[in-house]
Structure 1
Amino acid sequence: MDLEYRLDGPEEAPLLVLSNSLGTTWQMWQGQMADFARHFRVLRYNTRGHGHSPVPDAGITLDTLGQDVIALLDHLDVERACFCGISLGGMTGMWLNRHAPSRFSRLVVANTAARIGEAKGWQQRAGTVRQQGMAPVASTAAERWFTPAYRQSNPGMVKLLIDGLADTPAEGYAACCEALATADLRQEVAAMLRPMLAIAGEDDPVTTVQDARWLAAQAKQTESVTLPSSHLSNVACPEAFNQQVLTFLTRRSTT
């Protein structure tokens, strides 16, 4: 297993997989760990191209990212898990709901969409970081990730995450941009079978409230909720995020 991962929480508890957003690492989930580990064995991993998780020679697609999660479950001998992913991690969760529903009981997909942005924009961003490094992306990310009020009241957390983005390997980030350029699940949403919660940030300029509501309208057993945040809702309002996720994941199934 060449993916970088770590496990926390009681060994006998059911497994919850956390999947980070583009340009972050498993550290983005620190605000969730205390609450989640009371209920789950928590598996965090670094998406391909992030941290010390390598980029395959063949590059990265959404299929690559989904298959990575299945390989992790197989590596850990886990038959079925819960899942929570944000942004790119949320798209990974939707892929898993479509292509590996038997491996998951419930999934949370936050600040995401069945199609994020446009291919040309992602390809241009990949080219920019390959030519200029991560500085151009890092210099503008705070405005996409957080509201002005959050940036003003939490400068330390904002700096921590932006510094982490700046340290992301440029090739890894570019390869994930190329995965997003081709990732389009709009025609597959109706075939996603497992219960799913779509979390939106009311001020998210990247993946909108309308994106989450569309998922809830199109996918079976899917509901949406909106939190007072921009793109990184788990960081901006961890208490509300944790409550929504845990309420959904621990709900007894009626089917």
Structure 2
Amino acid sequence: MSNPPTALATAQGTFRVAVDGDATAPALVLGNSLGTTLEMWEPQVLALSQAFRVIRYDTRGHGDSPVTPGPYSFEELGQDVLAVLDALGVDKASFCGISMGGHTGLWLGVHAGHRLQALAVCNSAARIGALGPWMERAAMVRSSGAAGMRTLADSAPGRWFTPEFAQAQPAVVQAAQEWLAGIDPEGYAACCEALGASDLRNALGRIATPTLLVAGDADPVTTVADAEAMQAGIPGARLVVLPASHLSNLETPQAFSAALLGFLAGALAA
């Protein structure tokens, strides 16, 4: 069993954080996707915590982390990660994030590479979507509140999972839907605004941290082509494509963990 989350006071606010593994092991931070919580990483904790001090956190606006008025920026979301590391006394860590969390990882790679040992950017892109739709979604959830979050949760399986997985694993899909339905509308909207505003395509060449890119071959949100574009921009980046949709760590948990652990073993030994 993984350790329960606790409230961690940081310079950026009090974040909901869960820490597993040996306190002397290399640190690995896991960043959640838009509309989920740190529980999304539960399938990975046991495997990863054998070799790492695994640090999961709820992104700002999500779960029991700070819900401050938006819009947010990825500078703010990236500084949140650094504040969590500082509060835990961690100088350097590896970072793995999915979707929004992966984009946070890109920001860290560009702007705070001195704090990173390795970087895994999963089911993400240097530019996720377009400004207009993100602003429309933010406005929708702000105006409709919890009912709007439930509407998003009802439609999420089509974006997050393949139909085959959704049919075979309804409990996993329902759990993910409940994470989304429970997110604070303001926090969700503010993260939508951060996603709409951020474009790191021209900054990828500044990432010097060893980088793994993970894509799902059936991901309609952040495609294999998005991952290939990041690979072309990040020096030495590796790409792994999994048979999954957008939340590949939930759809193919063993393959995801194996790819991540294999990459980290090589990156930290170099």
Task: Report the TM-score when normalising by structure 2.
Answer: 0.92
Distance 1:131 1:15, change over 3 A: same
2:171 maps to 1:159: no
2:207 pairs with 1:195: no
Structure 1 residue 84 corresponds to structure 2 residue 96: yes
Residue 90 of structure 1 contacts residue 109 of structure 1 at CA under 8 Å; is this kept in 2? yes
Q: Which runs of 5+ in 1 are unaligned?
A: none
Tell me which of 113, 119, 126 is aligned to 1:107. Answer: 119
1:211 equivalent in structure 2: 226
| Alignment map for 1:43-122 (pairs within 5 Å) | 43-57=55-69, 59-122=71-134
Q: How far is the alpha carbon of 1:136 from its aligned partner?
A: 2.1
Give yes or no for the alignment of 1:251 onto 2:250: no
Q: Which residue pairs with 2:17 in the alignment? A: 5
Q: Distance in 1 between matches of 2:119 and 2:267?
A: 14
Q: Secondary structure at the match of 1:160?
A: helix
2:70 touches 2:190 (CA, 8 Å); kept in 1?
no
2:257 corresponding residue in structure 1? 242
- Establish whether residue 145 from structure 1 lines up as the match of residue 160 from structure 2: yes
Show the counterpart of 2:235: 220
Q: CA deviation at 1:20?
A: 0.1
Distance, in Å, in 2 between the alignment partners of 1:237 and 1:93 is: 21
Opposite residue 205 of structure 1, the aligned amino acid is: P
Say which is worse superposed, 244-253 or 11-20, in terms of deviation.
244-253
Q: Give the Å deviation of 1:58.
A: 5.8
Q: In 2 relative to 1, CA 58–236 (structure 1 residues): closer, same or farther, beyond 3 Å?
A: closer
Q: Identity across aligned pairs (percent)?
A: 47
Deviations 1:208-252 (A, max 9, x none): 001111111111121111000000000000000000000001115
Counterpart in 2 of 1:27? 39
SS in 1 for 2:15: coil
Q: Quote the offset at 1:194 in angstroms.
A: 0.6
Q: Any unmatched runs of 5+ in structure 2?
A: 1-9
The separation in 2 between residues aligned to 1:126 and 1:57, in whole angstroms, is 12
Structure 1 position 76, deviation (Å): 1.2
Instruction: After superposition, give the CA deviation of every residue in 1:99-151 in whole Å (9 maximum; x if it has no partner).
Output: 01110111101000000000000000001111123122112110000000000
The offset of 1:55, in angstroms, is: 2.7
**RMSD of aligned residue pairs (Cα, Å):** 1.2
Q: Bigger shift: 217-226 or 116-125?
A: 217-226
Counterpart contact for 1:12–1:41, Cα < 8 Å: yes
Q: 167, 191, 197: which one pairs with 1:182? A: 197
**AA matched with 1:235:** L
Task: Report runs of 4+ in structure 1 exceeding 4 Å deviation.
Answer: 252-255
The alignment of Structure 1 onto Structure 2 pairs a total of residues equal to 255
Residues 136, 244 of structure 1: alpha-carbon distance in 2 compared, 3 angstrom cutoff: same
* Offset from partner CA, 1:54-108 (integer Å, 9 cap, x none): 1334641111100001111111111110110000000000000000111011110
